[in-house]
Structure 1
């Protein structure tokens, strides 16, 4: 039996989708006392800016671009626990003492893309980041909504492409993202900037810029 879950992205993001799947499995096992409480993220965040437009959005243009572009290829890579542990050890340095498994795997994929010659100049990597735990104070893990931001990591042509260098750049971009949510004033400003960041990301992909997007949400 295969069970599929589909959610409208204006309502929830990937972390909540995973949480719903896990809660459903917990219920099926009879663990009713272990269910999380799903709360609307809107209770904690600033209200959205009203905006209405009948023009095609960049997101819809990008969807059409992907569907009409025969060069788009999807591949699945699987890393077992021992491989990830070895990769994390190789990526360790004085700047990044304890790389996360997401950082290590992301760095390896980015490095491979650079080495095969797809990108010969400035390279940009975009991570979608779950920012619930990056707020001060942090938001509940199961607050429903789109509580995701983008962290863009840049590497110039003359910068190194080894694991330790690339993972340092990724860690730096994630740290800089966290600084945006340390107080209410900067937090609200950062939240209002999230739609603009996503629009810039989509625009870059439509125009064929050197921009690589990893869909895994970084916790």
Structure 2
């Protein structure tokens, strides 16, 4: 369904404040080094619920149902902000978040409600990825009391849009500042919010990451390098694909090698996407595997994939399981034209992941992390401009983020049962793969961004289509 088929009506907005006053010793929160290096953007997620069989709807009008649901969400959100108090503040410097007095207008989360003039079943028949952004408040025009800059350091760190579909469907769109959020943090926030809404036990949270990884004053103006190289004047397009559990098992069997006896779901899917994206990028190249100088490694086309990693379970000390913020790092894997087989790519991903785990504790000592990032930036700038005599790119850079195994469907029950669909809306950056579990837990949904020219070739690749379905209907 496109925007021409779907009308969105904003019906109200309000600032939600914490239900209890923020203690004086929590009025300032230092950002960790990882938060400091994070880009001023948003981590986003949309939860869809089909609640048309709920008893509330059977006994009330749509408007009354909206009021009951809205009241429940606002109250539980306010109580959640007492625990996630930093998200009520604003980033006032490169190393801290400030929370003013409770009566101030710029304290709290921004909450919007919208009415969608179509049914949820119609919307999910073939989800339009571009329409999803309209279910987030930051992409909506605000009234003059809420004119926010696009700079995420000057607007609310948490924004919520609750969108009511006709006949009872509901979508909750979350936008949380990347300066204090990664996939684990937004997942924990959802689990806390849902637990409060239904009266369950509340999970523990901690905002002490800066005590383990203190920020650096001397890099206050530091801007992290983009992980993605954008082609000149090329339009970037995004596509949704779903790998069901059966196809993933077949893919894992195909990816087995002597070095990797049992590939993981994420390894197998990432390797396939990477392989087919490279094939599309090099499809029209005059350089082939059979060229006469294929043995000259200096003339082979190469590719790097950056894989983001949650470090909470990877570091030996301290215990970070309940620590919020950006506790994410990355490892890079390089390949060339002679090592594009699925088994080769999986083996390299596994090796890169193991080496990352072995070195993460050393990496976090002193300024070694900053040194690594600076070195990575220099290498990226050096390699991204490498082209052959015909002007073809000799180095392709990709990035992958996995949201798998966070149990989002299980933790996001606000009393209407599990969501029927969750989307993280992917990225607008080129050459980016975002992976997420399907509702059943055995499948994987991928949002992939490539240049328009490369996507045209990628989405016709028979090897890829043998395992992935293009934008299938979301089952209610």
- One fold, TM greater than 0.5? yes
- RMSD after superposition: 3.3
Residue 79 of structure 1 is matched in structure 2 by 243
Structure 1 CA distance for aligned equivalents of residues 313 and 404 of structure 2 = 11
Against the structure 1 CA distance between its residues 164 and 44, is the aligned structure 2 distance closer, same or farther, given a 3 Å change threshold? farther
1:173 equivalent in alignment to 2:352: yes
Structure 2 CA distance for aligned equivalents of residues 133 and 167 of structure 1 = 22
1:25 equivalent in alignment to 2:215: no
User: Pick from 272, 277, 282: which aligns with 1:118?
Assistant: 282
Relative to total residues, which structure has the larger helix share, 1 or 2? 1
Conserved 8 A contact 1:10-1:145: yes
Against the structure 1 CA distance between its residues 205 and 41, is the aligned structure 2 distance closer, same or farther, given a 3 Å change threshold? farther
Residue 402 of structure 2 is matched in structure 1 by 216
Relative to total residues, which structure has the larger strand share, 1 or 2? 2
Conserved 8 A contact 1:136-1:181: no
Please give the secondary structure, in 1, of the residue aligned with 2:212.
coil
Please give the secondary structure, in 1, of the residue aligned with 2:266.
helix
Residue 324 of structure 2 is matched in structure 1 by 144
- Greater relative contact order, per chain length (Cα 8 Å cut-off, separation 6+): 1
Q: How many equivalent pairs are there?
A: 209
Structure 1 CA distance for aligned equivalents of residues 242 and 354 of structure 2 = 27
Structure 2 CA distance for aligned equivalents of residues 79 and 23 of structure 1 = 30
Against the structure 1 CA distance between its residues 129 and 217, is the aligned structure 2 distance closer, same or farther, given a 3 Å change threshold? farther
How far 1:147 sits from its partner (Å)? 1.0
How far 1:28 sits from its partner (Å)? 2.9
Conserved 8 A contact 1:130-1:217: no
Conserved 8 A contact 1:127-1:215: yes
Higher Cα Rg: structure 1 or 2?
2
How far 1:141 sits from its partner (Å)? 2.5
Against the structure 1 CA distance between its residues 192 and 71, is the aligned structure 2 distance closer, same or farther, given a 3 Å change threshold? same
How far 1:169 sits from its partner (Å)? 0.4
Please give the secondary structure, in 2, of the residue aligned with 1:126.
strand
Residue 213 of structure 2 is matched in structure 1 by 46
Residue 365 of structure 2 is matched in structure 1 by 188
Conserved 8 A contact 1:46-1:188: no
Against the structure 1 CA distance between its residues 58 and 178, is the aligned structure 2 distance closer, same or farther, given a 3 Å change threshold? closer
1:128 equivalent in alignment to 2:128: no
How far 1:198 sits from its partner (Å)? 6.9
Against the structure 1 CA distance between its residues 38 and 79, is the aligned structure 2 distance closer, same or farther, given a 3 Å change threshold? same
Against the structure 1 CA distance between its residues 117 and 199, is the aligned structure 2 distance closer, same or farther, given a 3 Å change threshold? closer
Conserved 8 A contact 1:41-1:147: no
Against the structure 1 CA distance between its residues 138 and 78, is the aligned structure 2 distance closer, same or farther, given a 3 Å change threshold? farther
How far 1:216 sits from its partner (Å)? 2.3
Conserved 8 A contact 1:126-1:151: yes
Conserved 8 A contact 1:126-1:153: yes
Please give the secondary structure, in 1, of the residue aligned with 2:251.
helix
Against the structure 1 CA distance between its residues 27 and 118, is the aligned structure 2 distance closer, same or farther, given a 3 Å change threshold? farther
Against the structure 1 CA distance between its residues 166 and 144, is the aligned structure 2 distance closer, same or farther, given a 3 Å change threshold? same
Conserved 8 A contact 1:104-1:167: yes
- 1:86-120 CA-to-partner distances (Å, cap 9, x unmatched) read 22222122211222211111011011112234386
Conserved 8 A contact 2:306-2:398: yes
Residue 172 of structure 2 is matched in structure 1 by 3
